[in-house]
Chain A
Amino acid sequence: MVGGEVKTLPMEIKFNEDNLKKLEEAKSHYPKADAALMSALWLAQEQFGWLSTDIMKYVGDLLGIPYEHVLGVAEFYTMYNKKPVGKYHLQVCTNVSCMLCGGYDVVDYISEKLNIGIGETTPDGKFTLIEAECLGSCGTAPMMQVNNYYEENLSKDKIDSLLEKLSKS
C-alpha cells in the first residue's frame, strides 16, 4: 500500500449492540454456532473496516473458535480485507467478458486519474483500486464493484462523474 493514512483502528474491539444482535440471529440459523463464523467476519468488517489479528481473535472468542481457524477462513475468502482499504474500494472486473469490453482500459484510466497502481490506496485514504475476477455482471461490461454495490456499463464520463461524487462525500 502506498501513502498510508487509512482507517485507524478504534481503541476498543467490541461489536456494537446491533451487531451483537445480528450475530445471535446468524447463530440461530445453524445447528452449530461455529457456522456463523462467516457472518461474524462480515459484521466485523462492516464495523471495523478490515480484519486485524485482534479483531479475528475477538471474533474467535465470541464463537469459541481458535484464532488459527478464524485466520484460515479469513485468508481463504478474498472479500475479507486482511489489510486496511480506502473508504471506497474500487474493484474493477477484468475477466473475459469485461476484458473484451475494455475492462483493462477502465483499470488504466482510474489508475492514471487517481495516480495509484493496482492494490494501492490514495494518500488521503479515500480510494483503493484492485483488479477483480468476474463479478457476475458480464452483460453490463465493463463494470466494477464499489464497496457493496455495482457500477455497470462504465464509460470515461461515467467514471469521471462517479469519482467526483465520491471524492466529495
Chain B
Amino acid sequence: MSDFQPIILKNIPELCNIDVYIKNGGYTALKKALAMKPEEVIDTVKKSGLRGRGGACFPTGMKWSFMPQKSEKPKYLCANGDESEPASFKDREIFEKNPHQFIEGTLIACWAMGIKTAYVYIRGEYYKWIELLQEAINDAYKKGFIGKNIGGSKYSVDLYIHRGAGAYICGEETALLNSIEGKRGMPRFKPPFPASFGLWGCPTTINNIETLANIPPIIDHGGEWFSKIGEPKHAGSLLYGLSGHINKPGIYELPSGTLLTDLIYKYGGGVTDNKAIKMIIPGGSSMPPLRGDEIEGLKMDNENLKTVNSYIGTAGIVVMNEDTDVVKVIKRITKFYYHESCGQCTPCREGCGWMLRILDRIDNGMGRPEDIELLKDVANNIEGNTICAFGDAAAWPVKWAIKKFLPDFEKKVSESVNIPITNKVHSLRVTYQE
C-alpha cells in the first residue's frame, strides 16, 4: 500500500523473540554505539532530528546533552510507558511486537548519558504487556545485553520495570519521578529540571517508549538517513493510532507528514457507514480538535498541525462522523480531566470541575446563553496557570471545541429550558455528581 518500510513495527514474524531479533540485525546498533564515544552517539541523535514521541516533540539529542557527563551522584533514565492519554495505544504495540528494539535503544541511551540504571514506567493496566516486556528483558539479561559488561564491553546497566497503578498524571515526567520513588504521582515545580534534579535528586532523563525505539536504527544507519524520513522539522516515522468511527482502526507506522486524508481513507478504510466527518482529534484527547472541513491536504506532523491550531501530541487520531454530538464528546473528555487532576493547583482542580458542571448542564438542556462565555473564561483561567501541562491539556479541548464548533454549543443552549436561578454563586457550588 505504501513503499515505506517501517523502522519500528517491521513486518517480521515473531520479531518479539530475541533470536529472531538478533537474526535480523538486532543488538548490532548497541555494539556499534559502545564502540563510539558517548558524545558521538548524542551527536548522531542530534543530527537525526528525532523529536520526543511522548507529546511535547522536544529534540531528543538536545535533551540528552542536558545531562551532566560527569556526576558524583548516580544518573537515571526513565522510559515513559504510562500511555494514558485517551486515544493513545502505540507504546503497547512496541512492547508486543518489537520489545527488543526499545530495550536496545534504552541501553544505547544509557551509554550516551553515562547511566547505569534505567526504569521503564508502565501503566498498571498493561499487565499483559508488562509480562511480555519482562520476558524480553530477562532474555536480554541472559544473552548479556543487559546487566554486567553489556555486549562484552566494560559498561554495566540494569533495567527495571516499575508498574503504575492507574493515574494518568503519572505520564507527566515529574509526576512519574515521584511515582517511581514510591510516592503519590504529583508533578513537581520546574525548575529544577530532571536533568539536574530528578529521581532521588539525581540527574535524570525521561523519554517516551517510541522515542527510544527509534534509537537503534539511527545508530545503524546514521542521523542523516533518519533526518530524510518524513517532514524535515519532525523527522522519522510516527506510530499513528486510528480509532473512533473508522473502518480499520489500529496503529499505522508511516512517515511523519502523511496526509490525514490518506490515513483515514487509504489506510483506515474510511469512515464507518461512509459518513462525513464532523470532528477529528489529531493526537490524543488533549489536542485541539479539528473540523471535518479542515483536513483536506493536511499533513500530520507538529509543524503542519500548528497551521490549524493544533499539535501532533501522541498521534492518536480519533475520527468522529457527522452525527457526533460535539458537546457530549467534550463533556466526556472533560470528565476524564476532572477525574485525573492531581489537585495541587486551584485553577486545574476547581476549573475542571466547573467546566464539567457547565458542560453537563448544557448537554442536559439546562444551559444558559452566557454559559458559553463562562466556559471559555474558566478554560482561559486554567491555561498557563498551573504547575504542569495537564492544565493546558484540560483547557484546550474545551476552548478549541467552542471556537471551532460554536454553532453546536449555541444550538444546545438555545434549545435549553431556562431555569431561573435565584442565587448564582450558590448554584455553581453544587458539587458535580458522577
Interface string of A113-149 (1 = CB under 8 A from B): 0000000000000000000011111111100010011
Instruction: Indicate whether A163 reaches chain B with its CB closer than 8 angstroms.
Output: no
CB distance from B376 to the nearest CB of A (A): 21
Chain A residues positioned under 8 Å from B181 (CB to CB): 32, 34-35
A30 to B88 CA separation, bound complex (whole angstroms): 29
Instruction: Indicate whether A111 reaches chain B with its CB closer than 8 angstroms.
Output: no
**Could you tell me if B329 and A99 are in contact, using CB atoms closer than 8 angstroms?**
yes
**Could you tell me if A97 and B124 are in contact, using CB atoms closer than 8 angstroms?**
no
**Could you tell me if B182 and A31 are in contact, using CB atoms closer than 8 angstroms?**
no
CB distance from B361 to the nearest CB of A (A): 19
A31 to B198 CA separation, bound complex (whole angstroms): 14
| Cβ-neighbour of B165 out of A72, A80, A96, A99 (below 8 A) | A80
CB distance from A27 to the nearest CB of B (A): 10
| Cβ-neighbour of A77 out of B87, B166, B242 (below 8 A) | B166
**Could you tell me if A138 and B179 are in contact, using CB atoms closer than 8 angstroms?**
no
**Could you tell me if B332 and A150 are in contact, using CB atoms closer than 8 angstroms?**
no
Instruction: Indicate whether B160 reaches chain A with its CB closer than 8 angstroms.
Output: yes
CB distance from A37 to the nearest CB of B (A): 4
| Cβ-neighbour of B242 out of A99, A139, A149 (below 8 A) | A139
**Could you tell me if A148 and B244 are in contact, using CB atoms closer than 8 angstroms?**
no
Instruction: Indicate whether B127 reaches chain A with its CB closer than 8 angstroms.
Output: yes
**Could you tell me if B241 and A138 are in contact, using CB atoms closer than 8 angstroms?**
yes
Number of interface residues of A (CB under 8 A): 40
Interface string of A27-52 (1 = CB under 8 A from B): 00111101111110110000000000
| Cβ-neighbour of A38 out of B84, B179, B329 (below 8 A) | B179
Known contacts A42-B165, A139-B250; A149 and B87 CB within 8 A of each other: no
A96 to B244 CA separation, bound complex (whole angstroms): 8
Instruction: Indicate whether B265 reaches chain A with its CB closer than 8 angstroms.
Output: no
* Closest residue on chain A to residue B169 by CB atoms: A76
* Closest residue on chain B to residue A119 by CB atoms: B434
| Cβ-neighbour of B86 out of A41, A80, A138 (below 8 A) | A138
Instruction: Indicate whether B281 reaches chain A with its CB closer than 8 angstroms.
Output: yes
318-343 of chain B: CB within 8 A of chain A: 318, 320, 324, 329, 332-333, 336, 339-340
**Could you tell me if B168 and A73 are in contact, using CB atoms closer than 8 angstroms?**
no
Interface centre among A32, A34, A134 (most CB of B within 10 A): A134
**Could you tell me if A37 and B182 are in contact, using CB atoms closer than 8 angstroms?**
yes
CB distance from A99 to the nearest CB of B (A): 6
Known contacts A38-B162, A134-B84, A138-B89; A96 and B318 CB within 8 A of each other: yes
A141 to B245 CA separation, bound complex (whole angstroms): 10
**Could you tell me if A136 and B324 are in contact, using CB atoms closer than 8 angstroms?**
no
**Could you tell me if B241 and A148 are in contact, using CB atoms closer than 8 angstroms?**
no
Chain B residues positioned under 8 Å from A79 (CB to CB): 124-125, 164-166
**Could you tell me if A148 and B243 are in contact, using CB atoms closer than 8 angstroms?**
no
A101 to B249 CA separation, bound complex (whole angstroms): 11
A137 to B86 CA separation, bound complex (whole angstroms): 9
A138 to B319 CA separation, bound complex (whole angstroms): 12
Chain A residues positioned under 8 Å from B242 (CB to CB): 139
A141 to B83 CA separation, bound complex (whole angstroms): 16
Instruction: Indicate whether A19 reaches chain B with its CB closer than 8 angstroms.
Output: no
Chain A residues positioned under 8 Å from B251 (CB to CB): 139
Could you give 19 example pairs across A and B, Cβ below 8 Å?
A: A29-B119, A34-B182, A35-B181, A37-B182, A65-B182, A73-B183, A73-B184, A95-B285, A96-B329, A100-B320, A133-B84, A133-B168, A136-B91, A138-B88, A138-B241, A138-B244, A138-B318, A139-B243, A150-B128
Report the 8 A-B pairs with minimum CB-CB distance, sorted nearest first. Answer: A77-B165, A79-B166, A134-B86, A78-B166, A97-B243, A138-B243, A37-B182, A148-B127
5 additional A-B residue pairs with CB within 8 Å, beyond A29-B162, A34-B182, A42-B124: A77-B167, A99-B329, A134-B336, A136-B88, A138-B243
